[in-house]
Structure 1
Amino acid sequence: MSEPDFSLDFLDQEVTIDSSWSNKRSAVRYLRNDIRAAVKIKSMWFPRLFPVVLRDISSRGAAVFSEKKLSKNKRIFLYLLFNDGRRFDIAALVVHCDRERGRYGIKFDNIEKSLAEHLLHTQTDLLFS
């Protein structure tokens, strides 16, 4: 009986990733239902603040549900309030709109490292997307 071939030559192969297949998300997204969220639309004359439902969140962005309509490429602030009283005010841009379902993708202007740390430390259920 011959020894099985356990060579690792396949690790030397070049890997190409099809751009249509690759995941555009570059950070772990946490599914959270314990964070209160609101959006403020920037406007000189009539800034509007309204609640949204957080679908998932990371240090780079979030997905939210909103009854109020948002426009793609609209500058906003996302306000987050955790159960422990910690609050985050994040400048962001709406990058995805599904108005029929009220779903929106939000990209933060900066990587929010302190938010990422707080998300990790306050996570109670291990749900990721």
Structure 2
Amino acid sequence: MSEPDFSLDFLDQEVTIDSSWSNKRSAVRYLRNDIRAAIKIHSLWFPRLFPVALRDISSRGAAIFSEKKLGKNKHICLYLLFNDGARFDVQAVVVHCDKENGRYGIKFDNVEKPLAEHLLHTQTDLLFS
């Protein structure tokens, strides 16, 4: 009886991820409906603040619904207000637009570690996107 080959050469193989891979997110997104959100559009002449609906959020970005049309690559500030009174102001840029349905993806300028910690500690329902 020959001994089985327990070689782990397959671990040395290079892994390539194909471009059709649907989930390219590098952070856990939390589905939250208890956070109030608003966006301020950066403008030299008329900065505007308006409410948005938060679909999901992470330390690196968020998905929102907005009645106000946003353009891709538009710089914004996302204001978040939690039920416990905690507030976060996050600089971001619009990276995905679905203007017909009012859905937008925004990427934060920096990884927001304090926001990530607060999201984790205030999460009540275990819903992830």
Same fold (TM over 0.5): yes
Find the aligned partners of 1:31 and 1:43 in 2 and give their Cα distance: 30
Contiguous gaps of at least 5 residues in structure 1: none
Aligned-pair distance for 1:6? 8.5
Aligned to 2:101: 101
Aligned to 1:125: 125
Find the aligned partners of 2:75 and 2:23 in 1 and give their Cα distance: 24
Could you tell me the percent identity over the aligned residues? 83
Find the aligned partners of 1:110 and 1:27 in 2 and give their Cα distance: 13
RMSD: 1.9
Aligned to 2:63: 63
TM-score scaled by length of structure 1: 0.90
Write the deviation string for residues 16-67 of structure 1: whole angstroms up to 9, x where unpaired. Answer: 2213226321110000000000000111111110000000000000000001
Q: Which amino acid aligns with 1:32?
A: R
TM-score scaled by length of structure 2: 0.90
Q: How many residues align?
A: 128
Find the aligned partners of 2:58 and 2:7 in 1 and give their Cα distance: 35
Find the aligned partners of 1:48 and 1:6 in 2 and give their Cα distance: 66
